[in-house]
């Protein structure tokens, strides 16, 4: 049950903090039970004026083994009751993809839920606040009415680090609107094979582009101040900021045949020059956390790789934040998963993982880790290092001073300013691959004043498909009932054209339809692409345009009307067989909720400026094929992109 507590924010604004009814009393009882230092003395760890390391040292020396292991435990939202948080000293909670307090939950419902869990954490003897994390890979995707930005595959085509930074700041504000201070983003994978189902989470096949676009970290967390120590986590207190998480460390984008969670075969030099550079940039920006990849490097599971986690990331790069596992990442060290959980825990913790995304079997994890410490298999020094890193992030974020969320930022969710930013990102991410057949005038930009324009293809009027995976649910969902707000590409076209221009939508026109309407249309816009997907379910060895997309292209573009084909997808697809029939071709990637950004450029209000951040192959038999390869014969090379001028 919730209670509204009102108070001044110090700047004249009134904060509305949602707390649980029994929280104040429970916290007071916990402090009286021995967490406060006795005799009315304020412990150093509770004194914000004390140096950071003194606060950490003071708290760490007070903690029992059970309290330390609790800090290392991250559990799923559905398990995180008040009693579980308090009794097991849980240090972190997460929402998996699609895990929400209720369908179409409001910011107030999210804040109430997070604060209820925080009440349990604050009611423990030492009152260590928990940190709540959530995936926000292209906006606050789990949350109804949130602004959904283009996926990274599109943002990479903008080559605009400042845009990425502004997107990070907008996402941080929307996440904070729901009371959440930690995001599992950005993905800084360097996707080297588009058959991988997570390729759309990658900015580029080129590590230099990924490094530049990792500026989104400074958007999430705020700019690290001049002279800030390299590797030390930084989260600004000056605006709504969240702790960021660079993932998935390391080599997740280089697996054989693009298979998710598979093996990356590479020399140390290849790993360091292709997949590691984004982490140099992340650490330099003060990223708070790093998530380990499910994948392996030359047969060694990353979750058990002491050399790369401890020797390189923590020691060589001097990363001082905490390392977190992926979802059931320790379980998957063995095959089958969870076959020898105690061994998995030993390997993962000794490799250098600090916080474990359990997320369900938390009592087993806690008991097994305690047993491994008590029998000397895992030294207390390793536990202390993990907890020290977790506490450093929590202190840096200001969680000890401001553990509870409030409703003052509720208006940030889906606000128009963020939607305008997302629309601009869509415009800049579009890549024009063809504009007119040989000998013909360019088709784009299309005229706003025309007799009639045909719009075809199911993706033209499908908000869910243009958002893709990690939207409301883990895998995403097709259709227009997914979330509120936003515009489909068809909506945008209808708004863009002159009032006298007829817009005809036919989802899958056949050849007969085109014969009957010969001469009716001045131009056609065909929008085809992939259904939503995420992770392993998105792995695809053929990369063809799903039906009925090919027949729609053939019927419309071969039906006597000049056509522009817009491809909505998380990666390049096989398109060469249709190129002779197509007049103009646009890669729209996964643009998110603001589909009007597509029509803005199609009709010339803005110019095409995007450049491919991935190689567009001719056939899957060429894969993997990346810029710089010895045998490089793409349909469209890395960096390609035609440009247009604004319409008069």
pLDDT at 200 over 70: yes
pLDDT at 23 over 90: no
Burial pattern 273-295, b for ≥16 Cβ within 10 A else e, equals ebbbbbbebbbbbbbbbbbbbbb
Per DSSP bridges, beta strands 73-76 and 92-95 are parallel
pLDDT at 4 over 70: no
Cβ burial, residue 403 (10 Å; 0-12/13-18/19+):
buried
Q: Cα–chain-centroid distance for residue 461?
A: 24
Q: Which helix (H) or strand (E) holds 20?
A: strand 14-20
Contact call for residues 213 and 164 (beta carbons, < 8 A): yes
Phi-psi region of 275 (alpha: psi -120 to 50; beta: other; left: phi over 0): alpha
**Who contacts 226 (Cβ-Cβ below 8 Å, separation ≥6)?**
none
Structure tokens at 197: 């189902």
Q: Which helix (H) or strand (E) holds 132?
A: strand 131-134
What pTM does this model have? 0.95
**pLDDT tens-place string over residues 93-146:** 999 999 999 999 999 999 999 999 999 999 999 999 999 999 999 999 999 999
Residue 519 CA to residue 521 CA, distance in Å, equals: 6
Length of the chain, please? 648
**Who contacts 243 (Cβ-Cβ below 8 Å, separation ≥6)?**
131, 181, 182, 183, 220, 221, 233, 235, 288, 289, 393, 397
Residue 574 CA to residue 635 CA, distance in Å, equals: 10
Contact call for residues 98 and 162 (beta carbons, < 8 A): no
pLDDT at 21 over 70: no
Among this protein's residues, is 424 annotated catalytic?
no
Residue holding tokens 């924010």?
A: 9
Phi-psi region of 444 (alpha: psi -120 to 50; beta: other; left: phi over 0): beta
Which of the residues 354, 368, 461, 535 is marked catalytic? 535
Cβ burial, residue 235 (10 Å; 0-12/13-18/19+):
buried
Q: Where are the domains of the chain?
A: 44-397, 430-636
Residue 290 CA to residue 323 CA, distance in Å, equals: 5
**pLDDT tens-place string over residues 332-379:** 999 999 999 999 999 999 999 999 999 999 999 999 999 999 999 999
Beta strand spans in 530-576 (E): 563-568
Please write down the long-range contacts of 45-52, taking CB distance under 8 Å and 24 or more positions apart: 45/400, 46/400, 48/400, 48/401, 52/392, 52/395, 52/396
**pLDDT tens-place string over residues 154-187:** 999 999 999 999 999 999 999 999 999 999 999 9
**pLDDT tens-place string over residues 466-482:** 999 999 999 999 999 98
In this chain, the answer to whether the domains covering 44-397 and 430-636 adopt an identical fold is no
Confidence at residue 22, expressed as pLDDT on a 0 to 100 scale: 55
Confidence at residue 32, expressed as pLDDT on a 0 to 100 scale: 56
DSSP β-bridge partners for residue 636: 616
Per DSSP bridges, beta strands 300-301 and 296-297 are antiparallel
pLDDT at 53 over 50: yes
Contact call for residues 266 and 232 (beta carbons, < 8 A): no
- Greater confidence (204 vs 229) lies with 204
**pLDDT tens-place string over residues 371-426:** 999 999 999 999 999 999 999 999 999 999 999 999 999 999 999 999 999 999 99
DSSP for 139-182, please give it. Answer: BSTTSTT--BPPPHHHHGGGT-HHHHHHHHHHHHHHHHTTT--E
Residue 267: CB atoms within 10 A of its CB come to 9
What mean pLDDT is predicted for residues 36-42?
Answer: 61
Q: How far is CA 403 from CA 72, 324, 391, 627, in A?
A: 18, 21, 13, 47
Confidence at residue 475, expressed as pLDDT on a 0 to 100 scale: 98
Contact call for residues 205 and 613 (beta carbons, < 8 A): yes
Cα Rg of the chain (Å, integer): 26
Side-chain-side CA neighbours of 322 within 13 Å: the count stands at 34
Which of the residues 160, 174, 193, 326 is marked catalytic? 326
Residue 274 CA to residue 253 CA, distance in Å, equals: 10
**Who contacts 259 (Cβ-Cβ below 8 Å, separation ≥6)?**
195, 196, 539
CATH topology of domain 44-397: TIM Barrel (3.20.20)
Residue 163 CA to residue 266 CA, distance in Å, equals: 33
Among this protein's residues, is 643 annotated catalytic?
no
DSSP β-bridge partners for residue 5: 17
Confidence at residue 97, expressed as pLDDT on a 0 to 100 scale: 95
**pLDDT, averaged across the chain:** 95
**pLDDT tens-place string over residues 206-256:** 999 999 999 999 999 999 988 888 899 999 987 899 999 999 999 999 999
**Who contacts 294 (Cβ-Cβ below 8 Å, separation ≥6)?**
248, 252, 260, 261, 302, 303, 326, 329, 332
Residue 503 CA to residue 493 CA, distance in Å, equals: 8
Phi, psi angles (nearest 5°) of residue 87: -75, -25
Structure tokens at 43: 């412990």
Confidence at residue 279, expressed as pLDDT on a 0 to 100 scale: 98
Confidence at residue 455, expressed as pLDDT on a 0 to 100 scale: 98
Confidence at residue 229, expressed as pLDDT on a 0 to 100 scale: 87
Pinpoint the alpha helices (H) of 335-486. Answer: 341-351, 362-374, 380-397, 416-429, 463-467
CATH topology of domain 430-636: Rossmann fold (3.40.50)
Contact call for residues 392 and 56 (beta carbons, < 8 A): yes
Percent of the chain with pLDDT strictly greater than 90: 91
Q: How confident is the model at residue 18 (pLDDT cuts 50, 70, 90)?
A: low
Q: How far apart are the first and last CA of the chain?
A: 59
Q: How confident is the model at residue 38 (pLDDT cuts 50, 70, 90)?
A: very low
Percent of the chain with pLDDT strictly greater than 70: 94
Q: How confident is the model at residue 647 (pLDDT cuts 50, 70, 90)?
A: confident
Beta strand spans in 460-576 (E): 502-506, 523-529, 563-568
pLDDT at 6 over 80: no
What mean pLDDT is predicted for residues 510-525?
Answer: 96
Confidence at residue 41, expressed as pLDDT on a 0 to 100 scale: 81
Residue holding tokens 């128009």?
A: 416
């Amino acid at each position: 049950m919730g209670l509204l507590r009102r108070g001044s924010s110090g700047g004249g604004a009134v904060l509305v903090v949602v707390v649980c009814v029994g929280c104040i009393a429970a916290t007071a009882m916990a402090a009286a039970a021995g967490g406060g230092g006795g005799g009315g003395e304020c412990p150093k760890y509770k004194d914000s004026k004390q140096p950071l390391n003194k606060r950490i040292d003071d708290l760490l020396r007070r903690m029992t083994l059970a309290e330390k292991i609790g800090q290392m435990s991250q559990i799923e939202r559905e398990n995180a009751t008040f009693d579980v948080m308090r009794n097991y000293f849980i240090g972190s909670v997460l929402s998996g993809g699609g895990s929400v307090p209720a369908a179409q939950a409001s910011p107030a419902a999210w804040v109430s839920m997070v604060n209820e869990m925080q009440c349990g954490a604050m009611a423990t003897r030492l009152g260590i606040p928990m940190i709540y994390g959530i995936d926000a890979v292209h906006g606050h995707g789990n949350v109804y009415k949130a602004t959904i930005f283009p996926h990274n595959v599109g943002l990479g085509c903008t080559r605009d680090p400042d845009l990425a930074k502004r997107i990070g700041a907008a996402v941080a504000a929307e996440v904070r609107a729901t009371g959440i201070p930690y995001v599992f983003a950005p993905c800084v994978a360097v996707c080297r094979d588009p058959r991988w189902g997570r390729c759309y989470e990658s900015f580029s096949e080129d590590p230099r582009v990924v490094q530049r676009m990792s500026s989104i970290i400074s958007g999430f967390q705020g700019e690290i101040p001049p002279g800030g120590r390299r590797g030390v986590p930084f989260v600004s207190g000056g605006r709504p900021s969240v702790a960021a998480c660079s993932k998935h460390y390391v080599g997740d984008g280089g697996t054989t045949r693009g298979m998710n969670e598979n093996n990356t075969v590479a020399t140390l030099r290849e790993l360091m020059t292709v997949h590691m550079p984004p982490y140099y940039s992340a650490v330099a920006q003060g990223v708070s956390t790093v998530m380990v990849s499910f994948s392996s490097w030359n047969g060694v599971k990353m979750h058990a790789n002491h050399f790369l986690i401890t020797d390189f990331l923590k020691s060589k790069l001097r990363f001082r934040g905490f390392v977190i596992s992926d979802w059931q990442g320790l379980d998957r060290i063995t095959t089958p998963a969870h076959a020898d959980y105690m061994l998995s825990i030993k390997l993962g913790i000794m490799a250098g993982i600090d916080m474990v995304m359990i997320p369900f079997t938390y009592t087993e994890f806690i008991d097994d880790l305690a047993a491994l410490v008590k029998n000397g298999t895992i030294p207390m020094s390793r536990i202390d290092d993990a907890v020290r890193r977790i506490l450093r992030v929590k202190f840096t974020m200001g969680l000890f001073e401001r553990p509870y969320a409030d409703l003052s930022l509720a208006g940030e969710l889906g606000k128009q300013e963020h939607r305008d930013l997302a629309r601009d990102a869509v415009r800049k991410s579009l890549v024009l691959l063809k504009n007119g057949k040989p000998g013909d005038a360019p088709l784009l930009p299309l005229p706003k004043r025309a007799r009639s324009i045909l719009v075809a293809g199911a993706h033209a009027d499908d908000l869910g498909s243009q958002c893709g995976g990690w939207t409301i649910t883990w895998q995403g969902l097709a259709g227009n009932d997914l979330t509120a707000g936003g515009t489909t590409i068809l909506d945008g076209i209808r708004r863009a054209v002159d009032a006298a221009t007829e817009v005809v939508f036919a989802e899958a026109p056949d050849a007969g339809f085109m014969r009957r309407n010969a001469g009716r249309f001045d131009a056609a816009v065909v929008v085809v692409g992939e259904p939503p997907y995420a992770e392993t379910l998105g792995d695809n060895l053929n990369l063809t345009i799903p039906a009925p997309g090919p027949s729609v292209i053939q019927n419309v573009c071969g039906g006597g009307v000049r056509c522009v084909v817009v491809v909505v997808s998380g990666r390049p697809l096989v398109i060469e067989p249709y190129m002779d029939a197509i007049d103009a071709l646009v890669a729209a990637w996964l643009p998110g909720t603001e589909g009007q950004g597509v029509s803005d450029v199609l009709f010339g209000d803005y110019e095409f400026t995007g450049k491919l951040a991935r190689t567009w192959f001719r056939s899957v038999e060429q894969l993997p094929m990346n810029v710089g390869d010895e045998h490089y014969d793409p349909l469209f090379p890395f960096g390609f992109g035609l440009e247009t001028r604004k319409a008069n």
